[in-house]
Structure 1
Amino acid sequence: MVGAGVGGLAAAARLAAAGHVVTVCEQAPQLGGKLGWYSRDGFSFDTGPSLLTMPEVFEELFTATGGALADSVELRRLDPIATYRFADGSGFAARAGDDDLRAELDDTLYAGAGAEWARFDAHAAKVWEVTRDSFLSGPMSAGRLLRLAAAHPGGIGAVTAGRTLRGVAARYLGDDRLRMFVERYATYTGSDPRRAPAALAVIAHIERRYGGWYVPGGLYRLGEAIAQRARERKAEIRLDTPVMTISRGPGGRVDGVILADGGRLPADVVVANADAATVYGGLLAGSAGGRPGRWPGGRATPSLSGFALLLALGPPTDGPGAAGTSGPAGTGHHTVLFPADYDAEFDAVFRGRLPTDPTVYVSAPADPTLAPAGCEAWFVLVNAPPHDPGPGRAGIDWDRPGLVATYAARVLELMAARGLDVRDRLRWYEPISPADLERRTGTPGGSIYGSSSNGARAAFLRPANRTAVPGLFLVGGSSHPGGGLPLVALSARIVADLVGPA
């Protein structure tokens, strides 16, 4: 196993439970991959996902590998799931209950907004029913897409209605604010809502249907629990163990991995929980046994990356500008601050420029275990172009002197302008740039989801879990079925099924 992200750990647990001898090699000093963790001076932060959906996926994972999820991790349902604020000062809380959300939209946006949302969600529910089993239960291919269309000749129209996520949002929603709310779900796959397929409307429905959840103590605990389950099933996890090459023997079949220290681990099967571009362009490139195979990503657009700030905040101050989870800004567990010009943000990110007025996402968990008494640990994220310092680049050079500090100040200014001024409470901050993401996770450019879902079929035809190289499998967010904690865990189930029992 190459990589100890959530996908790799879940696959390790499943394969070890199926009787395989499993060794996981992780290049970083900690497990979790993009489900990262940072602690300093009594403050602790999730540095990757901060919201869990489809908890049933993880309940099934733990049950299948020998014990209940509840015995290892506590899940806490969030209500509201998030609070959304717009440039005109309006906003709403995404209440967990459907009736509560419709009433909230009518009360805070305009009369009839709740009914419009209900019609959109009914459409998204139909998309979910069409795609759920066929898309998530097994490996995807062009042939499987055609069979999906044949099996659901009426429902397939729902999948493609509006062609793009923006198109389907405009079809059902009559207000720019509700459309921005829906279009944000494109960023869950690192994509542009103007180019992402209409089928991504299903993400909004999934979040509503299965709820938004938090793990007390941080979502990183979920990764730790999966790792512990893998170890209980006798999988070995080696940290600080970079893999340089996936080696192949006669006929081109994988026969092991070569480590950075020159050592070699033989293997009948290799599961790579690394970015697919890294696997094809790097780990296979130096192996014997023939050509490494064609990179299946083709000309897919890299997904957007992110620029994050970890904010260590002291107790709220009195008077104007005070903010906090109970302050006048009404900060909840998750808060999204939209810009005035959403298109300008996507134009910048996907053209390799810094957005000057990006959407700001704030995760401010009311969790006393994450900060000293009276203090808070906030995770702030904005969409950003990937790290790409070369000529003709698709991103920018995030290592350019002064850029990170300047942009951090800009993000704090934007938060203040939008009602969340925490600068007088700021004890220190830790930035995480796309270049940092690339170094920490090995993802090219720090692109969070590998390739984007920009294009009519891109969401359905990510790199396959079973590669053209015999014995090599891909797991994780850059492969089918995509990024995000539940989909990554589902990719592990698909791979374990493909490999089969020992």
Structure 2
Amino acid sequence: MPIPDPAAAERVVVIGAGIGGLAAAITAAARGLQVTLVERAETPGGKMREVAAGGALLDAGPTVFTMKWVFDALFAEAGTSLEDHLELERAETLARHGWTDGSRLDLFADPACNDDAIGAFAGASEVPRFQAFRQDARRIFETLKDSYIAAQRPGPLELTRRAGIPDLTAIKPFASLWSALGGYFQDPRLRQLFARYATYCGSSPFDAPATLMLVAHVELEGLWRIRGGMHRLARAMSSLASDCGAQVIYGCEAAEILVERGRTSGVRLANGEVLPAESVIFNGDAAALSTGLLGRAAGRAVPGMPVDKRSLSAIVWTLLGRPAGFPLQHHNVFFSDAYRAEFDAVFRQDRLPDEPTVYLCAQDRDEDDRGEDRSRPDGDERLYLLVNAPPRGDRHPLNSEEIEQCAERAFALLRRCGLEIEPRPDTMQATTPNDFHRLFPATGGALYGRASHGWTASFQRAGARSKLPGLYLAGGSVHPGPGVPMAALSGRLAVERLLADSTSRRRSFRAGIAGGIWTRSATTGATD
């Protein structure tokens, strides 16, 4: 009797239809595994949410789409292309930045336009400093792209070997981003602008390593807009997973990861149904596992994370309104005059900042400052505002008074920068750390997993393989980190690790069983 090939019939349950889980489902199904994806929400996307306001749909999660090559590879493996499913437009203007002194600076996809803009904004002497910064940011990204970002998680020594660098100082992990930027820029506004990229990882620029300069390179290299909104990406990925043969089930909550003889055996749903599986890919915050929300056995599969290591949370307002005074672009950032105090409040004092920096996505704006959807009879625009907040939604939930005061401070900053917004009151919705904790349990509202504070933080994120054989991890809380493309990469890395382990088990069957009787191996795997 021939020995069955375990990988050929391997059943995989993916928990969570965020971007990491969707990428894992697409990759696993495209490689011939039997995939069931379960999601407790009624729609895909996870943090890539969409909300309704006044008859309009608004993105209420990530609004920036970069590293398109990640999704090109994902869709190509499934036999299609990103452009077959979505209408994309490369942005010429990346973002508009405003300060309370009335100054403004746009960043562009065209390097020559950036040089001209920075020279006009801060003086000719800052142009070569910006060019040096951009060159070093590119060098860090190119050093880490294949050796770290798109690869299974290494340790520090393994990283230096993979990257071909003599020591870690080449990627600037030992200085803070804020201090490193002081060596590039003399204009404090430029230092503040490029320090903001630490928040893309949910971190403070005063504590995050200068390695995060690479985030600026990623955005300067190219930013795309998805016609219809970012949520279209999640829907396209969900459809592609189904086209590849995955069974995708919404409104279906996973209650427990089941274990038999030391490895995963399936998933028990909240309704009591059991989905048998040889492997499980968990696409949720790793804290949900370590706190035991999916069973005691799975809780021992990943290390716990101290509350004080959590990343940023946020308060997000979605609304319809009429902006005036400041010429908005699609992406806009309005900077606080008290930048260090903002991060001290969130990370050291566990409270909302007195003067928060405000990110504003004007979702109807095109390159010419005109609205793509101004035909709406009421003339309102779809607006998304975000301010940083402490991840305390499970310990000290914000009350209505605190939320209202934060909104007043945010809108006051906008007015000081020259922007007036007349919101339609019946459309304005706030999503707070309390809400994010409810949507993403065990996080306290932290949106990016562990904060990237200190040079070892990135190595402390879990890798694709957990301590429990057969349980694999995806999502923004694990390697290679937070952000839409990083989450997609994590899903692909989880499947690659799963398949490598399946091959290892298959070899152990062939080496150890001569009589043709197939039994499941009890071989255990080490944590990444």
Q: How high is the TM-score relative to the length of structure 1? A: 0.91
Question: Could you say what secondary structure the match of 2:256 adopts?
Answer: strand
Q: Which residue of 2 aligns with 1:5?
A: 18
- The residue number in structure 1 matching 2:86 is 73
Unmatched segments (≥5 aa) in structure 2: 1-13, 366-370, 503-528
Please state whether the residue corresponding to 1:139 is helix, strand or coil: coil
Q: Which residue in 2 is equivalent to 1:196?
A: 208
**Any idea what the Cα deviations from partners look like across 1:351-376, whole Å, max 9, x if unmatched?**
31110101000000226469834321
Equivalent residue number for residue 421 of structure 1: 420
Q: Is the Cα contact below 8 Å between 2:54 and 2:426 reproduced in 1?
A: no
Q: How does 1:204-353 map to 2 (within 5 A)?
A: 204-209=216-221, 211-250=222-261, 252-287=262-297, 292-293=300-301, 295=303, 297=305, 301-313=309-321, 316=322, 323=324, 328-350=325-347, 351-353=349-351
What is the number of equivalent residue pairs in this alignment?
Answer: 479
Give the Cα–Cα distance (whole angstroms) in 2 for the partners of residues 295 and 312 of structure 1: 43
What displacement does 1:416 show?
2.2
Post-superposition Cα deviations, 1:313-347, rounded to whole Å, max 9, x if no partner, equal 2xx5xxxxx61xxxx41110011000101000000
Give how far 1:278 is off: 0.6
Q: In the alignment, what sits opposite 2:518?
A: none
What's the counterpart of residue 115 of structure 2?
102
Partner AA of 2:358 in structure 1: V
4+ long deviations beyond 6 Å: none
Q: Deviations over 1:173-194 (max 9, x none)?
A: 1121111111101000000111
Q: CA offsets, 1:359-398, max 9 Å, x none?
A: 00000022646983432100000000113453xxxxx312
Which residue does the alignment assign to 1:21?
A: 34
How far off is 1:32 after superposition? 0.5
Alignment of 1:80-159 (within 5 A): 80-142=93-155, 145-150=156-161, 151-154=163-166, 156-159=168-171
CA distance in 1, matches of 2:411, 2:267: 44
What is the Cα-based RMSD across aligned positions, in Å?
A: 2.1
Correspondence for 1:186: 198
The structure-2 alpha-carbon separation of the partners of 1:443 and 1:116, relative to structure 1 and needing over 3 Å to count, comes to: farther
8 A Cα contact 1:38 1:47, kept in partner:
yes
2:358 equivalent in structure 1? 360
Distance 1:424 1:404 in 2: 16
Preserved CA contact (<8 Å) 1:281 1:295: no
Q: Secondary structure at the match of 2:146?
A: helix
**1:488 match:** 487
- Give the structure 2 partner of residue 372 of structure 1: 376
- 1:308 touches 1:379 (CA, 8 Å); kept in 2? yes
Q: Deviations over 1:128-157 (max 9, x none)?
A: 121111002321132xx2133245335743
Greater CA drift, 304-313 or 274-283: 274-283
Deviations 1:237-269 (A, max 9, x none): 21121112111111x201111111222111110
Q: Secondary structure of the equivalent of 1:82?
A: strand
Q: CA deviation at 1:468?
A: 0.9
Q: Residues of 2 paired with 1:401 and 1:435: CA distance?
A: 11
- Which amino acid is 1:468 matched to? K
Mapped to 2, the partners of 1:389 and 1:424 lie a distance apart of: 30
For residue 52 of structure 1, what is the aligned residue in structure 2? 65
Amino acid of the residue matched to residue 51 of structure 2?
A: Y
Give the Cα–Cα distance (whole angstroms) in 1 for the partners of residues 374 and 442 of structure 2.
Answer: 27
Identity fraction in percent: 35
Equivalent residue for 1:164? 176
1:447 aligns to what? 446
Superposed displacement of residue 294, structure 1 = 5.0
Separation in structure 2 between the aligned mates of residue 294 and residue 153 of structure 1, nearest angstrom: 30
Q: Distance in 2 between matches of 1:369 and 1:21?
A: 42
Displacement of 1:428 in angstroms is: 2.8
Over 3 Å counting, the alpha-carbon distance change for 1:222 and 1:337 in structure 2 is same
Looking at structure 1, the residues matched to 311 and 344 of structure 2 have their Cα atoms a distance apart, in angstroms, of: 13
Indicate how the Cα distance of structure 1 residues 161 and 30 shifts in structure 2: closer, same or farther if over 3 A, else same: closer
Counterparts of 1:493 and 1:389, CA distance in 2: 31
Aligned to 2:187: 175
Given candidates 52, 70, 74, the residue that maps to 1:39 is 52
Counterpart code for 2:376: P
Q: Shift in Å at residue 426 of structure 1?
A: 5.5
Preserved CA contact (<8 Å) 1:412 1:423: no
CA contact (8 A) 1:246 1:283 kept: no
| TM-score normalised by L of structure 2 | 0.86
Distance 1:34 1:294, change over 3 A: closer
* Contact map agreement 1:6 1:489 (CA 8 A) in 2: yes
Larger mean Cα displacement after TM superposition, 214-223 or 127-136: 127-136
- The structure with the larger Rg is 2
Contact 1:190 1:305 survives alignment (8 Å): yes
Partner of residue 393, structure 1: none
The one-character-per-residue Cα deviations of 1:22-44 (angstroms, maximum 9, x if unpaired) are 11111122211000001133221
Name the amino acid aligned to 1:309.
Answer: W
Q: For 2:252 and 2:296, how far apart are their aligned partners in 1?
A: 18
